[in-house]
Amino acid sequence: MAIMNPPARYGGVAQLLHWTTVLLVVALLGLGKAGLVDAEHPGSAAFMWHGSLGVLVLALAAARLLWRLVSPPPEFPSTMTRLGRIAARTMHASLYALIVALPLSGWLAASSEGSRINFFEIATLPGWEQLSGATAAGQPAAQREQASAGASAEEGENLAKESHDLLADALLVLVSLHLLAALKHQFVDHDGLIRRMLPAGPKSAGGGPPAR
85 near ligand HEM, judged by CB under 6 A: no
Q: What is the DSSP string of the chain?
A: --SSPPTTS--HHHHHHHHHHHHHHHHHHHHHHTT---TT-TTSHHHHHHHHHHHHHHHHHHHHHHHHHHSPPPPPBTTS-HHHHHHHHHHHHHHHHHHHHHHHHHHHHHHHTT---EETTTEEPPPHHHHHTPPPTTSHHHHHTHHHHHHHHHHHHHHHHHHHHHHHHHHHHHHHHHHHHHHHIIIII---GGGGGSTT--TTTTTSSB--
Q: Which is nearer to ligand HEM, 24 or 149 (CB)?
A: 24
Binding residues for ligand HEM, rule CB under 6 A, total 43
Residues 91-130 that bind ligand HEM (CB under 6 A): 92, 95-96, 99, 102-103, 106-107, 109-110, 117
Q: Which is nearer to ligand HEM, 32 or 152 (CB)?
A: 32
For residue 68, the one-letter residue type is R
8 near ligand HEM, judged by CB under 6 A: no
Query: What span, in angstroms and rounded, lies between the C-alpha atoms of 130 and 164?
Result: 20
Q: Which is nearer to ligand HEM, 118 or 149 (CB)?
A: 118
- Please report how close the Cβ of residue 164 comes to ligand HEM at its closest, in angstroms: 5
80 near ligand HEM, judged by CB under 6 A: no
CA angle 78, 189, 98 (to 5 degrees): 80
156 near ligand HEM, judged by CB under 6 A: no
179 near ligand HEM, judged by CB under 6 A: yes
Q: Which is nearer to ligand HEM, 149 or 165 (CB)?
A: 165
Q: Which is nearer to ligand HEM, 49 or 149 (CB)?
A: 49
Give the chain's end-to-end CA distance (angstroms, integer). Answer: 25
196 near ligand HEM, judged by CB under 6 A: yes
Q: Which is nearer to ligand HEM, 153 or 182 (CB)?
A: 182
List residues near ligand HEM by CB under 6 A.
18, 21-22, 25, 28-29, 32-33, 37-39, 50-51, 54-55, 57, 68, 73, 76, 92, 95-96, 99, 102-103, 106-107, 109-110, 117, 161, 164-165, 168, 171, 175, 178-179, 182, 193-194, 196-197
